[in-house]
Structure 1
Amino acid sequence: MNLYNIKHPEQQVNFAQAVRQGLGKDQGLFFPATLPQLSNIDELLALPLVERSQKILATLIGDEIPADKLNAMVKNAFTFPAPVAKVADNIYALELFHGPTLAFKDFGGRFMAQALATVRGDGKITILTATSGDTGAAVAHAFYGLENIEVVILYPKGKISPLQEKLFCTLGGNIRTVAINADFDACQTLVKQAFDDEELRQAIGLNSANSINISRLLAQVCYYFEAAAQLTAEQRQNLVVSVPSGNFGNLTAGLIAKTLGLPIKRFIASTNANDTVPRYLQTGEWQPNATVATLSNAMDVSRPNNWSRVEELFKRNGWQLSELGSGALNDAETETALKAQYAQGYLCEPHGAIAYQVLKDQLQEGETGLFLCTAHPAKFKESVERILGIELPLPDALDKHNKLPLLSDEMDNDFAILRAYLLK
């Protein structure tokens, strides 16, 4: 598999290099030089999740990883289902929260851990990543206990849910977590600064595990095929997919699936009050505002890293950005949407509620709508209980971590302090 740096196309790497390196020169994102057109979509959709995903990823990655190793990587990563549930007439939910950390990031995080273990070579590796909520848990659990791999996760102090924090800040061992006194965008900037420091990169074997790493992105492509496989052929022909969007890796994966030939009529990028992309699509002006804290904290991102990949796909495919739907909800509207879902018999959480409502508002006659449920409602226990007036039991995966003490360090938004911490 050949990939290039979007900022510096002359920088070319293979899949193993992209996985190990994470980011390219000048913080550029790696992207596949070619994406194949799959001719056997119906045959693929008839297969079980793991077998189908093995074939899709083998086609994308090529023979760089032996077939038996790649098949084992997928089998070890995708150990849980991604069911589709009916919510309303012509509206369905793709539930991506049935993995060990109850969030969609389990697909990408677990596959990346498998990929890095396969291509790592010799020497120490330090995974440095920023999280706005769910990435941290998925990465921490995927890499926990792996030999010679240290993980450092930055998150905005007080801006993720308490249960999200407990899920990845109670492990210890090779997992270090740092609460930064700033917002997620500041955490992400610190990660970028670290990657720009060549001496630091070499000293600690720096790598990243958020959605900028190509291995995570390719893994996410697979669950769009799984969603389509659970719909009828007729429903697939007019399928509209609404993606709750923060850093825009999830939408990028869906657009790759469409590029491969998966029949998706159009996508909708659904955001909260951090609405840089919806405003950009309306005005043509890229004007990020200061990030604001919302109920849907995993989407509290004003400068989405993966947007350059979205634009690259549209350019390469000859698509028009005007074809991409978008919408944004504030917290009051999010609460109303969550109540509407619950009234129809479907229990969701703020991120999925936004994706549902924007989809509902824009779905046209004859279309089938699918929205992504990216996290279990119990991960947002306090807000969901308050909004719906119910009591949510904690799943075992959350309950056991909720009883453990936090092991996080706290740090100001200062790269010099982070640098010294990483070199300890």
Structure 2
Amino acid sequence: MKLYNLKDTKEEVNFSQAVKFGLGKNQGLFFPKKLPVFSKKKIKELLNKKFVSRSQKILSMLIGSEIKKKKIKNSVKSAFNFSKPKMINITNNIYCMELFHGPTLAFKDYGARFMAHILSCLNNKDNKSITILTATSGDTGAAVAHAFYKMKNIKVIILYPKGKISNVQKKLFCTLGKNITTISVNGSFDECQKLVKKAFHDQEIKENTQLNSANSINVSRLFAQICYFFEIFYLIPKDLKNKLVISIPCGNFGNLTAGLLAKSMGLPIKKFILATNSNNTVPRYLDTGIWNPYKTISTMSNAMDISRPNNWPRVEEIFHKKKWNIKDLKYGYVSEKKTEKNIKDLYQKYQYISEPHAAIAYTLLKNKLKSNEHGVFLGTAHPIKFQDTVEKILNIKLKEKNSISNIFHLKDLSYNIQPNFNKLKKILLNK
């Protein structure tokens, strides 16, 4: 597969290089030159397969011949070796696709684990040491840390905004140690991400480390996320497949990008709804045509507290290449008050316990779904990851997940820094 840099289209790489580099020149995102397009017959064949075998087929066709199919199949099998997504019927025409049944209870387990196995496979060829540098607004940190934990020749450094992620999120990745270094930054996620981008642009760091990123800017993570959009169509009743609207809680816009890529490959998704919290740069941009990020606001849906979403250029590129009208993309944002109201509504009316991110996607879906349409909103994290918030809103006690019951007594091993690049640089260069 060939990919090009969105900021310098002359720079072309293959899939392996895109995975290893993370970003191109001028911090540009890599985008596929050509995607496979499946016929209706091929889609039907794929939907007759189980999740892992279907995902193996999709990713093999995406990546092409540069990595042996056996290695891709083994990587997918190892990466997706946990409970598959679940489809929950909420109302007569609304479903929740639960993507949080992996080891760190968030959708990001799919992309992070596939990236880890593919990168390990590629790294075994040259046996060089790699440093993974990434920023997290909540769930990426845990997924990446657990995916790469104790992997040979791979060092992971994760930045997160101090005091702005939940206790469960923090305990899941800040207590591991070994090859995982965690750094709390006195600032927002956007400031963390700014430090990461600056590191990729620093010549001394480039010369002394083999730096990579595990955010959704890495194409391996992005491609893995395509797979569960096909699973939605496998799980949804047959008579709904041509009327399907998917509502996505958006932070860095990786999930929306993956969904649009799935649609461009032939999956008959009728339309998407992008849902944000009060950090509503994209909804305002689609309203006015002016890109004007405000200062990031801290909300209960902290994984979406992003004012400068990195994947938005990929979203625009898909619409441009496919000659789709971006006005067909539905969108909106949800206040804290409405988020809380709909967490309550889901529980009181339908006995469904939701966390804030999914509740935002549900809110927009409920408001924008037409009578002849059926909708799916993505459940991106388990409610236990936002235990304090959910218990307070619903006045209930959540049942603790056995898989995380042993993390609460573990010591936080994080460093703390100001959003100062020189401090981060010293850590990266071991000075």
TM-score w.r.t. length of structure 1 = 0.99
* Cα drift, residue 321 of structure 1: 1.1
**Residue of 314, 332, 336 corresponding to 2:337:** 332
Residue deviations 1:356-378, cap 9 Å, x none?
01000000011010000000000
Amino acid at match of 1:85: I
- Show the counterpart of 1:93: 96
Q: Does 1:395 align with 2:401?
A: yes
* Cα drift, residue 284 of structure 1: 1.1
- Show the counterpart of 1:191: 196
CA distance in 2, matches of 1:3, 1:293: 35
CA distance in 2, matches of 1:18, 1:397: 34
Residue deviations 1:251-309, cap 9 Å, x none?
00000000000110000000000001111111111111100000000000000000000
* Cα drift, residue 345 of structure 1: 1.2
* Cα drift, residue 387 of structure 1: 0.2
- Show the counterpart of 1:155: 160
- Show the counterpart of 1:113: 116
* Cα drift, residue 129 of structure 1: 0.1
Q: Does 1:58 align with 2:60?
A: yes
- Show the counterpart of 1:368: 374
Amino acid at match of 2:420: D
Where 1:153 maps in the other structure, the secondary structure is strand
Amino acid at match of 1:334: T
Structure 2 unpaired stretches of 5+: none
The answer to which of 126-135 and 326-335 deviates more is: 326-335
Amino acid at match of 1:129: T
* Cα drift, residue 231 of structure 1: 1.1
Q: Does 1:8 align with 2:8?
A: yes
Q: Does 1:23 align with 2:42?
A: no
Where 1:227 maps in the other structure, the secondary structure is helix
Q: Decide whether the 8 Å contact of 2:275 with 2:333 is kept in 1.
A: yes
- Show the counterpart of 2:73: 71
**Residue of 91, 102, 107 corresponding to 2:105:** 102
* Cα drift, residue 399 of structure 1: 1.8
CA distance in 2, matches of 1:388, 1:217: 34
**Residue of 381, 384, 395 corresponding to 1:378:** 384
Q: Decide whether the 8 Å contact of 2:127 with 2:153 is kept in 1.
A: no
**Residue of 322, 326, 330 corresponding to 1:321:** 326
* Cα drift, residue 422 of structure 1: 1.0
- Show the counterpart of 2:34: 34
Amino acid at match of 1:408: S
* Cα drift, residue 201 of structure 1: 2.2
- Show the counterpart of 1:207: 212
Q: Decide whether the 8 Å contact of 2:187 with 2:419 is kept in 1.
A: yes
- Show the counterpart of 1:419: 425
Where 2:224 maps in the other structure, the secondary structure is helix
CA distance in 2, matches of 1:284, 1:365: 30
- Show the counterpart of 1:223: 228
* Cα drift, residue 122 of structure 1: 2.7
The answer to which of 393-402 and 12-21 deviates more is: 393-402
CA distance in 1, matches of 2:6, 2:239: 37
CA distance in 1, matches of 2:203, 2:127: 19
Amino acid at match of 1:264: I
CA distance in 2, matches of 1:153, 1:394: 26
CA distance in 2, matches of 1:340, 1:328: 18
Structure 1 unpaired stretches of 5+: none
* Cα drift, residue 324 of structure 1: 0.5
Q: Does 1:146 align with 2:148?
A: no
Where 1:9 maps in the other structure, the secondary structure is strand
RMSD of Structure 2 on Structure 1 (CA)? 0.7
* Cα drift, residue 88 of structure 1: 1.1
Amino acid at match of 2:102: G
Amino acid at match of 1:372: L
CA distance in 2, matches of 1:189, 1:314: 27
* Cα drift, residue 248 of structure 1: 0.3
**Matched residue pairs, number?**
424
Where 1:61 maps in the other structure, the secondary structure is helix
**Residue of 42, 45, 49 corresponding to 1:43:** 45
Residue deviations 1:327-376, cap 9 Å, x none?
11111110001011111111110000000010000000110100000000
- Show the counterpart of 1:247: 252
* Cα drift, residue 64 of structure 1: 0.9
The answer to which of 393-402 and 98-107 deviates more is: 393-402
* Cα drift, residue 396 of structure 1: 2.1
Q: Decide whether the 8 Å contact of 2:274 with 2:332 is kept in 1.
A: yes
Where 1:334 maps in the other structure, the secondary structure is helix
- Show the counterpart of 2:275: 270
